[in-house]
Amino acid sequence: MFAIALNQKQYKTYTLCDHKAESILEVVPERGGLITRWSVKGEELLYMDEERFADPSLTVRGGIPILFPICGNLPDNSYTYQNREYGLKQHGFARDLPWTVRKQDQTNAASITVGLTSNDETRSLYPFDFELEFTYTLKGNGLEIFQRYTNLSGLVNSMPPESMPFSTGLHPYLWVPDKSQLRFHIPAMQYWDQPTESLQDFRGYFDPNVEEIDGIFGPLTGLGATMTDLSRNLRLCLNYSAAYSRVVFWTVRGKDYVCLEPWSAPRNAMNTGQLLTHLKPGTSFEMVVYLMATFL
């Protein structure tokens, strides 16, 4: 019923299948631990910009990128920690670095665990030793993304044992053929729209003719959001751990995607400290995101 196959394309691609449910998941560890494809019963659920994906010098627009150790951007791409300035590009570095495969399992589901460990490059941008492990599990019409963040400071290399501040998130690019046919439930009544720098009321839909919508919802009143695509009789549910304090909606006119992104903290949290997670040395923190496709 469950299977995992490895194919050598431009990058090594792991294909997870639930044959009974007719669901497929593709993961490319060396391209940021990225989920590149998810389909159920022949319906493609994720968008992928293939040209950007093929160019390793560009960030990927598509699939489900991982955001760590920040979500969003910083003013001048910089933050200060212990009176020293560091540089981090938008959404951090995890989505740009190669991850390694730690485990595979196809017993009761198809799952793969990928990991990222700090190195000299990451420490120059973010002065902590860490380990990230993400387990992607495909079963039926659902996709579970289980995450473990571990602070290794004081345990390896010469980094001192200190609390590790971070925020994290996921950036699902959902493929949509007709944005005018989308309806949403997001557990907040208003959102802050970044392009217009204004607070907007939310009534369950977005104007597809707007050039760009980049809205952050929060505080949240629930642990789930849904998108209903009336043109495909499809509903996607996004459920997330309580550690996710914000949901971001992003789309650009003329592109066949919308993004529903769970974030643990808002942009610039590394400078403001707002809702940052502080992980003690030698401890781990776990979070889960679960996506479910339902045909109406």
Write the pLDDT tens digit of every residue in 157-203.
767 789 999 999 999 999 999 999 999 999 999 999 999 999 999 99
pLDDT band at 81 (very low <50, low <70, confident <90, very high): very high
Over residues 35-61, the pLDDT tens digits come to 999 999 999 999 999 999 999 999 999
The pTM assigned to this predicted structure is 0.97
In total, how many domains does the chain have? 1
The CATH number of whichever domain residue 209 belongs to comes to 2.70.98.10
Mean of pLDDT over the chain = 96
pLDDT given for residue 154 in this prediction = 81
Residue-number span of the structural domain to which 126 is assigned: 2-295
Distance CA 133, CA 93 (A): 15
Residue 180 gets which letter from DSSP? G
Percent over 70 (pLDDT), the chain: 99
For residues 121 and 133, is the Cβ–Cβ distance under 8 A? no
pLDDT given for residue 9 in this prediction = 87
Burial (Cβ within 10 Å: 0-12, 13-18, ≥19) of residue 296: exposed
pLDDT band at 156 (very low <50, low <70, confident <90, very high): confident
